[in-house]
Chains A and B, each alone.
Chain A
């Protein structure tokens, strides 16, 4: 180690190298994060900021109007996450398993094409699907009609019972490229010898997939799950683009991100309240923290990793 001869002298180049990143990161990310947690303990009375302790949280969880909206958003958020987990992982695994066949032709083309929705913005995705599913335009009903399933059509984004699930599926459709690519990479990193050893023992085809490959890609699925969790619990853009800040119909697609936006920024007749917004942000922070800790300490440490 070169420069560690005398640790009592301040080595200024280390400071210079670290300073810009640490300053920007601390000032714009860490400091506001803790400041937001602090602001949740204040409220505004006659244009003065007053410390009120946990009052905002009592309101958020105790006042029926607030707590109904909060639990609605939280429940919707869990449903949103649940749909992601049960749809994106199986589809991602199937696509990745097919793509990882060594002699598949056009693999690069398929990969790139399936990834395209992921690079488009929520605004584009939200509106595009809104138009396609719209009963006015009629693409969705006429396509269902063509395969004889016209009775299945409903204005999916306009009905309370379907809207959230539809949006979750649109979100899965958009992001399927990421789980697909991560699982694909995990599958490629399985050494050929292991599969050959399995073949010698008569494990081929589908059973090789279940018994050898799937256990080996579980860590990748774990990472995908936690990334999805964090992404879903601060999602906002898609709902906002497709349904507006009111997350209609009748708040049935309201998730924590849109709830926080409305509360903190205000919408239509409702005035913005940064302190209640901070309280909701604090709750989101807590939920994400619990999820990440559960993953890091509960799942990741128990997952068996194989070194090749």
Chain B
């Protein structure tokens, strides 16, 4: 190892491989973004060159704004993601606290029951979920999606958060009890602030799959008013498949919000994956 560290040829090769792979990873995104700002002719004539004064055009974006209700889709995605995350964190932390803090009959069994959903994907139950949503009148509401994503996120959230809650010092909680705090206050005022980093990890883990999901919006809430951004862009692109400017612009607009979120949260996300794996 030490030898490898000193050898400049190795360092060069290492950077070479990483740069090559980084280019492979970013190339498609780059091509989509630059071409979304070009005229139709330039898209086809020189797909790999940057837009210049001659080829610059926003025609695609104009079509997208005229035809698709992207602000509504964006708003729907935002509501679904934020509310689901909030519920996953709140309910997950409460259950994790109960499992980590108290000894009661069936504690282990309850833990196992809640952990079942880590390995079994919720999509298997789609037929019955749709039936349930139809019979409760929740089809084509954002509530249906929020409930599904909450249920989907809970198992892993409970698992990760209870691991962290076991590490919170007993002395602190007992001191709180001696001062006359009840169990709810101990949970919300003493324990929750201490597991905030773990909560952030869980949030970031859940955010991407919820935001990007196509399956449940397609099945549970395909109506115009409840389309999420992912489903909205899928449908839009499907309709405009021959209008390359519009498709490229729609793709770029779908990429943009995720990229912004990623730039804000990338450290948190990568730290979350790394710390989760060490366990």
Given contacts A29-B125, A199-B1, contact A292 B29 (CB under 8 A): no
| B44 interfacial by beta-carbon distance below 8 Å | yes
Contact among B2, B29, B31 with A117 in the assembled complex (CB-CB below 8 Å): B29
* Cβ of B177 under 8 Å from chain A: yes
Of the stretches A60-68, A78-86, A96-104, the one at the interface is: A96-104
A259 at interface by CB-CB < 8 Å? no
- Least CB distance from B133 to A in Å reads 9
Are A124 and B251 touching (Cβ within 8 A)?
A: yes
CB A100 to nearest CB in B, in angstroms, measures 10
Question: Is the pair B26, A116 in contact by a Cβ cutoff of 8 Å?
Answer: yes
Q: Does A138 contact B (CB under 8 A)?
A: yes
Q: For A32, what are the chain B residues with a Cβ–Cβ distance below 8 Å?
A: 125-129, 131-132
Q: Which of A11, A182, A199 contacts B102 (CB 8 A)?
A: A11
Number of interface residues of B (CB under 8 A): 100
Kindly supply a per-residue 1/0 record for chain B positions 100-136, scoring 1 wherever the CB is within 8 Å of any chain A CB and 0 otherwise: 0011110000100110110111111111111110000
* Cβ-defined contact, A116 with B262, below 8 A: yes
Ranked 10 nearest A-B pairs via Cβ: A32-B125, A28-B151, A121-B212, A35-B128, A32-B128, A21-B95, A17-B98, A185-B277, A185-B274, A33-B125
B125 A281 Cβ-Cβ under 8 A: yes
Using Cβ atoms and an 8 Å threshold, which residues of chain A touch B123?
234, 236, 257
Asked if A31 is an interface residue, CB under 8 A from chain B, the answer is: yes
- Digitize A137-151: 1 where CB-to-B-CB distance is under 8 Å, 0 elsewhere: 111001000000000
A-B contact pairs, 26 of them (CB 8 A): A1-B103, A13-B182, A13-B184, A17-B183, A20-B90, A24-B147, A28-B150, A33-B120, A36-B128, A39-B127, A114-B18, A117-B29, A120-B255, A121-B214, A121-B258, A124-B233, A125-B28, A127-B237, A129-B28, A131-B247, A181-B277, A185-B273, A186-B277, A188-B274, A237-B212, A281-B127
* Assembled-state Cα–Cα distance A29/B274 (Å): 28
Check if A204 sits within 8 Å of B125, measured CB to CB. no
A181 touches B18 (CB 8 A): no
* B-side interface mostly: helix
Q: Cβ of B124 and Cβ of A288 under 8 Å apart?
A: yes
Interface residues of A in 251-288 (CB under 8 A from B): 257, 260-261, 264-265, 274, 277-278, 281, 284-285, 288
Q: Which residues of B contact A (CB under 8 A)?
A: 1-5, 11, 14-15, 17-18, 21-22, 24-26, 28-29, 31-32, 43-44, 47-48, 87, 90-92, 94-95, 97-99, 102-105, 110, 113-114, 116-117, 119-132, 147-148, 150-152, 154-155, 158, 173-174, 177, 182-184, 187, 208, 211-215, 218-219, 230, 233-234, 237, 244, 247-248, 251, 254-255, 258-259, 261-262, 266, 269-270, 273-275, 277-278
Alpha-carbon distance A98/B12, docked complex (angstroms): 11
Selected from B87, B127, B151, B244, the residue in CB contact (under 8 A) with A29 is B151
Determine which of A35, A122, A220 lies in contact with B212 in the assembled complex, contact meaning CB atoms within 8 Å: A122
Chain A residues with Cβ under 8 A from B277's Cβ?
A: 181-182, 185-186, 220, 223
Which single member of A7, A36, A106 contacts B126 (CB below 8 Å)?
A36
**Residues of chain A contacted by B126 (CB below 8 angstroms):** 32, 36, 260, 264, 277, 281
Measured CB to CB, the closest approach of chain A to B152, in angstroms, equals: 7
A46 to B248, CA, bound (A): 47
- Determine if A35 and B18 form an interchain contact, defined as CB atoms under 8 angstroms apart: no
Q: Return the contact of B273 from the options A142, A178, A241, A285 (Cβ within 8 A).
A: A178
Residues of chain A having any CB pair with chain B under 8 Å: 1-4, 7, 11, 13-14, 16-18, 20-22, 24-25, 27-33, 35-36, 39, 91, 94-95, 98-99, 101-104, 106, 110-125, 127-129, 131-132, 137-139, 142, 173, 176, 178, 181-182, 184-186, 188-189, 195, 199, 204-205, 208, 220, 223, 226, 230, 234, 236-237, 240-241, 257, 260-261, 264-265, 274, 277-278, 281, 284-285, 288-289, 292
Chain A min CB distance to B269 (Å): 8
Chain A residues, Cβ within 8 Å of B99 = 18
Name B229's closest neighbour in chain A (CB-CB). A121
- B28: chain A residues at CB < 8 Å are 117, 125, 128-129, 132
Pair A14/B258 contact, Cβ less than 8 Å:
no
Question: How far, in whole Å, are A261 and B15 apart by their CA atoms in the complex?
Answer: 44
CB <8 Å contact, A237 and B215: yes
Is B110 within 8 A of A18, CB to CB? yes
- In the complex, the answer to whether A2 meets B177 with C-beta atoms within 8 Å is yes
A176 partner residues in chain B, CB cutoff 8 A: 25
Contact B254–A124 (Cβ < 8 Å)? yes
Known A-B contacts A17-B98, A29-B122, A199-B1; A123 and B104 likewise in contact (beta carbons under 8 Å) = no
B1 and A195 within 8 A (CB): yes
Do the beta carbons of A98 and B151 come within 8 Å of each other?
A: no
Contacts of B266 in A (CB 8 A): 112, 115
Q: Nearest Cβ in chain A — how far from B129, in angstroms?
A: 4
Is A119 a contact of B233 with CB atoms below 8 Å?
Answer: no
